[in-house]
Amino acid sequence: MAERSIRRLPQTVVDRIAAGEVITRPSRVVTELIDNALDAGASAIEIEVAGGGTERIAVSDDGCGMARADAERAIDRHTTSKLDPADDAAIGRIDTLGFRGEALASIAACATVSIVTSDGRAVGTKLHHEPQADEPTVTDAGRAQGTTVTVTNLFDTMPARRQSLAGAATEFRRIVDRVTAYALGRPDVRFTLRHDGSETISTTGRGFTDALLGIYDREVASHASTFDHERAVTVGETEESVDVSIDGALVSPAIDRSRKDHIRVAVNGRPVLNGAIETAVREGYGPRLPSERFPIAVVRLDVPPALVDPNVHPAKETVGLVGEDAIGPALTDAIDTALSSGDDRRASAVATDLDTAIETGRPASRFDELSVIGTFRSLYLLCEADAELIVIDQHAAHERVNYERLRAVFDGRPIETAKLDPPATVSLSPTARARLDAHAEAITELGYEVEPFDDSTVRVKTVPAPFGRTATAASIRDAVGSVANDGSGADPREVLLAELACHPSIKAGDELSAEAAQALIDRLGECADPYRCPHGRPTMTTLSEASLASAFDRQATRFQ
Ligand code: ADP
Ligand code: MG
């Protein structure tokens, strides 16, 4: 996002902006700092919290950073780089999360603030401000491009405000809730939340499924399918038709919740509470969910900025939406369609749960006679089959199952892709770089859009994303390797599938229930090649009763 230099807003504009009390509790500090990081175009945001947040909150980003002169103005009141003071109509077109220029000023009025920032120049800036001081102290600082804002001793000088806070655990839970909302609403950005040194939330910045995996667990992530709809909606008295784009992730109604808090809504990139939209989401699930139950769902609406009134709530957590009554039904319909169309589901996400049979047309599992008798080191399933003890590597087996599922729906279709915004830079060895140039067309066909950056680096703008599984930017290295290797027999598409298949597979150390273990074996039995994982490693090994018997110097009971 292009940042303009920071200017003072004229009083007239200031008055039109609902100000209100901005910083009421630690979670408000966190949201304002995340907003700023996102407005700065960050692709990774790290949040560190000590205790309930009054002790210390630090937010680091890799966004555009600030030049010295801008940093010096940043904590003044009503200074912003996001609204042009000469343009009266600008406020109707706001596409940034901040625009009032008062967050940092408000934080600085009730806490000690230190900002370390660099806009990419050799020497960065460190600003330190105590709540009662007039001016911050400014010194040189070394830092990669981006900004770290550290807020300590929040409300130390405001005993009444301090008093009104809940206990540290509750205040921290509010922070977790906010970070969760942002991480799900911006799955293209990597979020990390650390609390007293341990990691509470971590997402990869690689799309909805990964974000759900970072916030919830594998079960939830594997039941999610992504959806993406464009709707023309007629709004307002003028009956104007506007384009609304709706996307997100819907967790299958097989998993439900007793409260609606797991419906996450973001409007134009900002996580918000909006009862009408939440109701519309629930209605989209309809009778697929029992009454009084709610789904886990992430819904993002992108609407023309003029339809959003961010001033309904001083903290912008609740937004008013012009045309809510028209957008709601469109959303309900989009969700209903996404949940009911089996094809949509295939196109967006492949079931990785173990209860769904693989669509191979093969009648029954060939491992019918296998029964699980135990596990070893939370990795190996021990199974009895007639006169053999079969040991299955659960991780390798699950990868194989995922891989065959992906392949079954992949067959002959063009590869879906996902845009990386901003593009990711990936370093390549000189050999890989030369191969990339030589096989540019094949790489494009695989779904990568790449442009040279410098001698050893490329910018990856688009990656393959079949069935909602977004490949990493770094997977371009494997793709280049496999494309260049023709003659070896490795089909680059298969190599890509193998890499995607291991995404949310059961890992070593995951304890499987007896039913899940049996289901895994059933699914494995339906695979065309159940004996190897997609990377070629064995999925199972056999110990015959005869070999055990001979180890113990006895005759096998069923020795043949
Ligand atoms: P607002 O976001 O409404 O403009 P703030 O008080 O939050 O007001 O921030 C003031 C200004 O400081 C912003 O307009 C922006 O130019 C700059 N700024 C704040 N945080 C960051 C950041 N993390 N990266 C780059 N610039 C920032
Ligand atoms: Mg701001």
In a domain, 348, yes or no: no
Give me the phi and psi of 164, to 5 degrees please.
Answer: -75, -5
Ligand 1 atom nearest residue 81's Cα: 14
Q: What is the largest CA-CA distance in the chain?
A: 96
Q: How confident is the model at residue 505 (pLDDT cuts 50, 70, 90)?
A: low
245 in any annotated domain: yes
Q: How far is the CA of 32 from the centre of ligand 1 (A)?
A: 9
**Pair (325, 211) in one structural domain:** no
95/195 same-domain check: yes
For a pocket test of ligand 1, which of 43, 59, 104, 270 has the largest count of ligand atoms closer than 8 A to its C-beta?
104
Task: Give the pLDDT band (50/70/90) at residue 409.
Answer: low
| Tally of domains within the chain | 4
Res. 487: pLDDT tops 70: no
CB 380 within 8 A of CB 392: yes
Instruction: Tell which of 215, 230, 259 closes a domain.
Output: 215
435 and 524 inside one domain: no
Contacts 24+ apart (CB under 8 A), 366-375: 366/525, 366/526, 366/530, 367/521, 367/522, 367/524, 367/525, 367/530, 368/525, 370/521, 370/525, 371/518, 372/514, 372/517, 372/518, 372/521, 375/511, 375/512, 375/517
For residue 489, what pLDDT is reported?
A: 53
Distance CA 503, CA 496 (A): 12
164 and 42, same domain (yes or no): yes
In a domain, 355, yes or no: no
pLDDT at 106 over 70: yes
Check residue 233 and give its pLDDT.
Answer: 82
Predicted confidence at residue 102, as pLDDT, reads 82
Residue 350 lies in a domain: no
Instruction: Indicate whether 349 belongs to any domain.
Output: no
Q: Do 157 and 51 share a structural domain?
A: yes
CB 484 within 8 A of CB 495: no
202 in the same domain as 159:
yes
Whole-number Cα distances in Å, 243 to 27, 226, 236? 33, 20, 14
With a 6 Å cutoff on the Cβ, whether 63 touches ligand 1 is yes
Residue type, 111: A
Q: Which pLDDT belongs to residue 28?
A: 94
CA distances from 156 to 23, 281, 345 (A): 14, 42, 52
With cut-offs at 50, 70 and 90, classify the pLDDT of residue 392. very high
pLDDT score, position 37: 97
Question: Does ligand 1 come within 6 angstroms of the Cβ of 127?
Answer: no
Q: What is the tens place of the pLDDT at every residue in 421-471? A: 788 888 888 888 888 888 888 788 888 899 888 777 888 999 887 666 678
pLDDT (tens digit per residue) in 23-81: 889 999 999 999 999 999 999 999 999 999 999 999 999 999 999 999 999 988 777 77
**Per-residue confidence at 16, pLDDT binned at 50, 70, 90?**
very low
Percent of the chain with pLDDT over 70: 83
At residue 483, the pLDDT reads: 72
CATH code, domain with 448: 3.30.1370.100
| Mean of pLDDT values over 361-387 | 78
Give the CATH number of the domain where residue 237 resides: 3.30.230.10
Q: Which of 76-90, 187-201, 357-371 has the lowest mean pLDDT?
A: 357-371
pLDDT at residue 254 in the model: 86
Name the CA dihedral angle for 523, 526, 530, 536, rounded to a multiple of 10 degrees. Answer: -80
- Distance from C-alpha of 118 to C-alpha of 140, rounded to nearest angstrom: 10
Same-domain status, 136 and 38: yes
Which atom of ligand 1 lies at the shortest distance from residue 61's CA? Answer: 23
Q: Which atom of ligand 1 is nearest to the CA of 149?
A: 23
370 in contact with ligand 1, CB cutoff 6 A: no
Give the closest residue (by CA) to ligand 1 atom 27: 36
CA distance 296 to 512: 23
Whether the CA torsion 260, 261, 266, 272 is positive or negative: it is: positive
Is residue 137 domain-shared with residue 206, that is, in the same domain? Answer: yes
- CA nearest ligand 1 atom 20, residue: 36
Torsional sign, CA 173, 179, 184, 187: negative
Report strand pairing: 112-118 vs 320-321: unpaired
pLDDT tens track for 281-309: 999 999 888 888 999 999 999 988 878 77
422 upstream amide cis, omega within 30 of 0: yes
Question: Distance, CA 103 to ligand 2 centroid (Å)?
Answer: 5
**Does the beta carbon of 398 lie inside 6 Å of ligand 1?**
no
Give the structural domain span for 328: 220-341
Q: Which ligand 1 atom is at minimum distance from the Cα of 103? A: 6
Average pLDDT, integer, range 371-400: 87
- Residue 75 belongs to domain with CATH number: 3.30.565.10
Q: Which residues contact 545 (CB under 8 A, 6 or more apart)?
A: 387, 388, 389, 556, 557, 558, 559
* Per-chain mean pLDDT for the chain: 82
Residue 532: predicted pLDDT: 84
| CATH number, residue 520 | 3.30.1540.20
Distance 74 CA to ligand 2 centre (A): 10
pLDDT value for 64: 96
| Within-domain flag for 160 | yes
Cα gap 146→116, rounded to integer Å: 8
> Given a cut of 50, is residue 17 above it in pLDDT?
no
Domain boundary among 194, 215, 236: 215
Residue 10 to residues 79, 87, 433, 445, Cα–Cα distance (Å)? 10, 11, 53, 53
Better-scored residue on pLDDT, 454 or 178? 178
DSSP per-residue codes, 69-102 = HHHHHHTSTTEESSS-TT-GGGGGG--SS--SS-
Task: Report which residue type is found at 267.
Answer: V
Residue 98 in this model has a pLDDT that exceeds 90: no
Nearest to 353 by CA among 214, 500, 251: 251
The answer on 202 and 64 residing in a single domain is yes
Query: Does ligand 1 have an atom closer than 6 angstroms to the CB of 165?
Result: no
Per-residue pLDDT band for 175 (boundaries 50, 70, 90) equals very high
Is the pLDDT reported for residue 132 higher than 50?
yes
Residue 516 and residue 475 in one domain: no
The answer to whether residues 224 and 308 belong to one domain is yes
- pTM over 0.85, yes/no: no
- The last residue of a domain, from among 341, 375, 400: 341
* 401 part of a folded domain: yes
558 assigned to some structural domain: no
198 compared with 59, residue with greater pLDDT:
59
Per-residue pLDDT, 340: 80
At 271, the pLDDT band (50, 70, 90 cuts) reads very high
Nearest-ligand number for the alpha carbon of 79 = 1
**Across 347-372, average pLDDT:** 59
CB 95 within 8 A of CB 305: yes
Considering the domain architecture, whether residues 152 and 78 belong to the same structural domain is answered as yes
> Ligand 2 (ion): which residues have CB within 5 A?
35-36, 98, 103
Ligand 1 center–CA 237 separation, angstroms: 36
Nearest to 383 by CA among 363, 404, 398, 368: 368
